[in-house]
Structure 1
Amino acid sequence: MYEAHFGLNQPPFSLSPDTALFVRLDDHEACYQLLTHVLDTGEGFLKVVGDVGTGKTILCRRLLRFLSDDEAARNRFYSVYIPNPMLSPVGLYRAVGRELGLESPRPSDNAALLEHINQQILNLAQQPRGVVIVVDEAQSLPPATLEALRLITNLETEQQKLVQVILFGQPELDELLDQNRFRQLRQRITFAHYLKPLSRTAVRQYLDFRLTQSGYNGPTLISDRSIKRLHQLSGGIPRMINVLTHKALLSAFADQRRQLNPGDFDRAWRDSKPEPTRLHSRLALIAATSALILLALVSAWSLL
């Protein structure tokens, strides 16, 4: 809607995880370098933890793109992507089997499926290629399925692990792993990275890169005062930055302005806040009425 007005060739703040718009922020770049280092050294488990909207999914997609597009990585690793971890152990084994090229594994019990998968992993190791299992939203893994995933990683030779696992999850992932039943798995997680919200400087870098990649070539579109306000409202969370900046661009476009101001982000914030439900509104009205009645009683009492 506003692209032509601002000289853009695409929406710069879409919520879809477009790796072409991946910004090499210090924290995200450090996480990506850790991911590739862990793959290179053959460590068994790695976890990436971040709150909602901090950029886990786009990091996950960038890693998967590296594994599929980089020739050296493609020759060395066979990637398995589990985007929906709400699976039973049998469901997990079937999903992994399909990703490994086992079209329709016949066995239906856990042990037989695991043996079928292990044999395929051993076959791939002859090429030689290791298997990388990437799990997004890993905090949603049922405990039994997480244990099933651990059993897949038991396969190894005297020289190396044949299966590596990278878990992307929200902070609840740590709560899941803290259970005593997963103490063996915790010992295998040799590296972890915790994604942090963006600083104000990083917010500027994030916005400028996405605008430039989307075709913007003009004077400063978002002033320092506006950046400060955006940082305050978004808390430095990339997803909220995308939502608020998209709506702020719409606000400026509606006024036919070519620069965003703090008021645009205030409007975007008000528009993004959830409306109170009727129940909440009634409760608020009851509370206010009760407070007025109590105040009137206190005033009347003081006059006696």
Structure 2
Amino acid sequence: MYQQHFGLGQLPFTLTPNTQFFFGLTPHVEALQVLQIAIANGEGFIKVTGEVGTGKTLICRKLMNDLPSDYHCAYVPNPYLSPDELRWALAAELGLEIQNDLNQQQLTGLIQTRLLELNGQGFKVILVLDEAQALPNQSLETLRLFTNLETESAKLIQVVLFGQPELDNRLQAPSLRQLKQRITFSYNLRPLIWDEIKAYIEYRLGVAGYQGNQLFSDKDIKLIAQAARGIPRLVNIIANKALLLCFAEGKQQVLSKHCKAAIIDTEDADVVLPSNRMNAWVFGILIISASLVMLLIADVDWLSILRESI
């Protein structure tokens, strides 16, 4: 796409939670510090919540990548699982080779034996669940029962929950009060403020290989920050579209009109623009222009393609 135009080695604003782009922003660093302290203390349940797109999965991956070698991490990225399915998933993550005809009592016994075995080998076991707000109540109760497994001095397994604010709401239910009391450390990710977003955008561009002058003006970064409500995922989407539009016009610096058009085209962005706001069709025209430019660069006979479509 526009990498060569801006001198980039890779796309800077993809939505994949790549730890190469992890930037030490205050809320993300604080969340990691809470997690690391809680894990070092051997606590049973740890919880991190935040709005969609605030960086929970990226922090999750960063945590797992940075765990010391004496930790065994079991990761369940999609926990919309029944209690039985959750046990099978945990068993697989613990490296157990099990037969399908085992009943749940036998499976639980094998998991406990494996946890004791890992403990005897000097390993601490961490179970990390992303999107934990999707866990059924019975599965949450199953997790609580697993944290009952312990030696005289330590828990055999710790559980780290990453979830949206709905998880906090669910934990208010009387039926989950026992689990709520087990959560000894928690952190709520806040949105980013505009100067953090400025540093975030510039850092990602730098990691991607950009070495030129400032691509986004401070004024436009404030506009993006307001439209994105401080949510990194929305910042990525808007910045990526603005770069595409800038490239389509052959410009070397992103202009306000590029950012405004990108904001209008982004579903969840807050469109807070001046009274002479651009219409959404302008973005469509610019996207068509960008597509034609890319076809020309690719040496495609686009005139033939247009004739065939008429």
How does the TM-score come out when normalised to structure 1?
A: 0.86
Does 2:206 align with 1:193? Answer: no
Q: CA deviation at 1:105?
A: 4.4
Q: CA deviation at 1:17?
A: 0.6
Q: CA deviation at 1:176?
A: 1.7
Does 2:182 align with 1:182? Answer: no
- CA displacement, residues 135-184 of structure 1 (integer Å, 9 cap, x when unaligned): 00000001111111111111112211111000000001012211111111
Which residue, 71, 80, 90 being the options, matches 2:84?
90
Does 2:31 align with 1:37? Answer: no
Does 2:64 align with 1:64? Answer: yes
Which residue, 250, 255, 275 being the options, matches 1:256?
250
Matches within 5 A, 1:277-288: none
Distance in 2 (alpha carbons) for counterparts of 1:264 and 1:226: 9
Q: CA deviation at 1:34?
A: 1.3
Which residue, 102, 109, 113 being the options, matches 1:115?
109
- Equivalence for 1:297: none
Structure 1: gaps (5+ residues): 68-72, 275-304
- CA displacement, residues 192-211 of structure 1 (integer Å, 9 cap, x when unaligned): 10001100010011001100
- Equivalence for 2:237: 243
Q: CA deviation at 1:112?
A: 2.2
Which residue, 206, 218, 222 being the options, matches 1:228?
222
- Equivalence for 1:213: 207
- Equivalence for 1:173: 167
Distance in 1 (alpha carbons) for counterparts of 2:139 and 2:106: 16
Q: CA deviation at 1:259?
A: 0.9
Percent identity (aligned)? 46
Paired positions, count: 268
- Equivalence for 1:13: 13
- Equivalence for 1:135: 129
Structure 2: gaps (5+ residues): 269-310
Root mean square deviation of aligned Cα: 1.2
Greater share of helix: 1
Q: CA deviation at 1:264?
A: 1.1
Equivalent pair of 2:224/2:263 in contact (CA under 8 Å): no
Give the counterpart letter for 2:66 in structure 1. Answer: F
User: Tell me, what secondary structure is at the counterpart of 2:264?
Assistant: helix
Distance in 1 (alpha carbons) for counterparts of 2:105 and 2:200: 47
Equivalent pair of 1:135/1:166 in contact (CA under 8 Å): yes
Distance in 2 (alpha carbons) for counterparts of 1:271 and 1:172: 27
How does the TM-score come out when normalised to structure 2?
A: 0.84
Equivalent pair of 1:107/1:113 in contact (CA under 8 Å): no
- Equivalence for 2:293: none
User: Tell me, what secondary structure is at the counterpart of 1:14?
Assistant: coil
Equivalent pair of 1:94/1:105 in contact (CA under 8 Å): no
Distance in 2 (alpha carbons) for counterparts of 1:239 and 1:192: 22
Distance in 1 (alpha carbons) for counterparts of 2:32 and 2:91: 27
Equivalent pair of 2:8/2:208 in contact (CA under 8 Å): yes
Give the counterpart letter for 1:268 in structure 2. Answer: A
Does 2:153 align with 1:159? Answer: yes
